[in-house]
Amino acid sequence: MDTGAKAPVTMALASFAWAEGTTSTLSTTGTNAYLIESIFCSRTALTNQATPTTDYATGNAFIPIPIPLSTTGLPPGVPNPCAGYVCAFTLGFSADGTLRAIQGPIVGMDANGNFISAAPSLSPSLGPPGPNPGTTAGIQADNDFCPCGYIVVLSDSAAVATFTFGTTAWTTTGYTTSLGNIASLPGRSLANLTYS
């Protein structure tokens, strides 16, 4: 047995201290190190960095969060009609330091703020192959994405327009956001957060 062969590690090595910037931008604090497939990467602080307009996992535009109780013709899997909606977006970086975002499922809420189905979660899909594609000792290579944080977007009855990640302002009427830091993808939903 080769005791030196271990699964490659992909993780943030410190909190990026995510913060909303102006309009739909994001900011972080300091230079932060992260690993993709056990290779060190780093990213200098973001200051009002434009957010991506396409989902890194799919390459498609982000699915807009619907207007509560009034949007029809939604894509499959998006509940309709609901009194409110919530969606989590995974934030992170590729090996070259580019900011990336991946959309999780859109979850419906009732008039009391309860989830109609499961609580919001981060997408398990992480995008295209990493800097070392293939396998090592039979272990599939990680993707070219290190999850470092998330933002949860919640709509309420005051929302009069859809919310599209990357273009809609954080302060749009009827929407609230919550940012968080992660070292890697959590193995559970984000149900423990306060959505208000």
Q: Does residue 137 lie within any of the structural domains?
A: yes
**pLDDT tens-digit map of 19-67:** 999 899 999 998 999 998 888 999 999 999 999 999 988 889 999 999 9
**pLDDT tens-digit map of 110-131:** 888 888 877 777 777 666 555 5
> Which among 16, 159, 22, 37 has a CA at the least distance from the CA of 91?
16
Q: Does residue 178 lie within any of the structural domains?
A: yes
Q: What is the pTM of this model?
A: 0.86
Give the mean model confidence (pLDDT) for residues 80-103: 91
Q: Does residue 190 lie within any of the structural domains?
A: no
| CB contact set of 93 (below 8 Å; sequence gap of 6+) | 34, 41, 43, 99, 100, 145, 146, 148
Q: Does residue 195 lie within any of the structural domains?
A: no
Q: Does residue 42 lie within any of the structural domains?
A: yes
Residue type for position 48: N
Q: Does residue 124 have a cis bond before it (omega within 30 degrees)?
A: no
Q: Does residue 194 lie within any of the structural domains?
A: no
Q: Does residue 193 lie within any of the structural domains?
A: no
- Domain carrying residue 32: 1-185
What is the pLDDT confidence band of residue 5, given thresholds at 50, 70 and 90?
low
Alpha carbons 191 and 65: distance in angstroms, whole number = 19
What is the distance in angstroms between the CA of the first residue and the CA of the last residue of the chain? 52
What is the pLDDT confidence band of residue 77, given thresholds at 50, 70 and 90?
confident
Write out the E strands in 79-196. 84-93, 99-109, 135-136, 139-140, 146-155, 175-181
Is the backbone of residue 69 left (phi > 0), alpha (psi -120 to 50) or beta? left
Contact indicator for 112, 59 with CB cutoff of 8 Å: no
CA torsion, ordered 142, 143, 149, 154, to nearest 10 deg: -120
Number of domains present in the structure of the chain: 1
Q: Does residue 79 lie within any of the structural domains?
A: yes
